[in-house]
Amino acid sequence: MEQDVCASSDRPLNPGCLLSRDAEWSTQRMRDAAVDFPVAVVLPAGGSGERMGLPTPKQFCSILNRPLISYTVQAFERLSWIGTIVVVVPKENHDLMLDIVQKFNHTKVTVVNGGSTRHRSIFNGLQVFSNITDSLMPKPKVIIIHDAVRPFVEEDLLLKITLAAKEQGASGAIRPLVSTVIATTSENFLDHSLERTKYRASEMPQGFLYDIIFQAYQQCSEFDFEFGTECLHLALQYCGTNAKLIDGPPTLWKVTYKRDLAAAEAIIKETLSMSVCIIPGAEAEVVELAKTLEINLNTMEMDVIPYAKQSYMDCLLKTRNFIHVSMSGSTSSWINEVVKTLEEADHARLYPLVIIWVQLNITKQSAESNKMDDLIGLATEVLQRNVLLYGIQIDLSKRVASE
């Protein structure tokens, strides 16, 4: 995978800069206080994904029935301090992206067409804000630029990138180099190698004062548009703005080759299955089944969070998976309550919430009345709110009848 390499500048942090405090942003109020200015996002997604070698551009490849780009949009959309998200797509995929926006209820997204290169696509995205009068889409103070094929980006890094961009004019995530960078001769012999400790890989997200990066793109050369790969370089070259570099986690990598798609799917699946909260109904049979489930899941080394009424919100914030065990009767009201609580909590959630509804039918009548049809309808509806709903029906009426 191509890596942009930029020498890291070990300038001491400006003491007044928030970055000197490695504070954990524990409450939304702290976040909102820190980001008291408009922040927008440009997600370049206008490429063809040649190195992936698939007919579908990689940003639209599905993972667990959801396009890769939707995970990236979700990573930003879940944050209350993020405003408009401009997604820049190939002209021929414009309608596809609008369908994705509608299906997954991406309410902050504006879709624009890309260009023949990444820099041209990014500039197209930035121009959305250049002459707007729309109060609902204010001109951003800070713009975050992030490749649409980098789905794993956490809030604390975005906050650091945003605040550093506001303080310094530009900021960018970096990672240590895995391989040594060498220069080759025209006959493909080794010319020299770079001292790896002095260099870093330039990753995403990157942040800029909007006026700086927009001005840089207005002034940059055709060569930059055609062959450039580094936005930080444009800010330095055309605006004299030296970006603050921020170390990012290993999950920042860009999905480029097929193996990257498999790795992204594995990470999402692993996160999905990490912990589960079992929520039983009141009936004795149900409590017994929930206890059996808990024992079995524990032996499978699942992190089972015991459910108690007062820890309901904790369960929501700690886990992403629920098993709701109930007798006959509709559970849709409970599921809607979970989704509503989650949305009201405005809890930043990157991965889908998984709810497995286990329905115990003791009598023949309840087995007949509790069709899975309404669950299927509900599953379709909540999918747009990033909830994966599955149903299991256990019909005990025959066993009870034979006893």
Ligand X SMILES: O=P(O)(O)OC[C@@H](O)[C@@H](O)[C@@H](O)CO
Interface contacts to ligand X, rule CB under 6 A = 2, 4, 118, 147, 202-204, 229-231, 254
* Cα 403 from Cα 401, distance rounded (Å): 6
The minimum distance between CB 145 and ligand CTP, in angstroms, equals: 10
Among 8, 113, 251, 256, binds ligand CTP (CB under 6 A): 256
The minimum distance between CB 122 and ligand X, in angstroms, equals: 10
Among 38, 114, 207, 281, binds ligand CTP (CB under 6 A): 114
What tokens appear for 283 in the block? 């009936």
275 binds ligand CTP (CB under 6 A): no
> Quick one: what does residue 88 bind among ligand CTP, ligand X, none, with the CB cut-off 5 to 8 Å set by partner type?
ligand CTP
Stretch that binds ligand CTP, among 24-32, 102-110, 117-125, 349-357 (CB under 6 A): 117-125
Residue type, 325: V
* Cα 289 from Cα 323, distance rounded (Å): 11
What tokens appear for 367 in the block? 């087995």
* End-to-end CA gap in the chain: 64
68-97 mask for ligand CTP (x: CB under 6 A)?
--------------------x---------
147 binds ligand CTP (CB under 6 A): yes
Give the Cα-Cα-Cα angle 49, 51, 57 (nearest 5 degrees).
20
User: Which has the closest alpha carbon to 398: 357, 359, 367, 358?
Assistant: 367
184 vs 229, beta carbon nearer ligand X: 229
User: Which has the closest alpha carbon to 224: 117, 126, 112?
Assistant: 117
90 vs 281, beta carbon nearer ligand CTP: 90
Write the CA distances from 286 to 178, 279, 380, integer angstroms: 52, 10, 26
* Phi, psi angle pair for 323, to nearest 5°: -115, 115
Stretch that binds ligand CTP, among 28-36, 94-102, 113-121, 243-251 (CB under 6 A): 113-121
What tokens appear for 49 in the block? 């994904």
The footprint of ligand CTP (CB under 6 A) covers: 44-51, 59, 88, 114-118, 121, 147-149, 254, 256
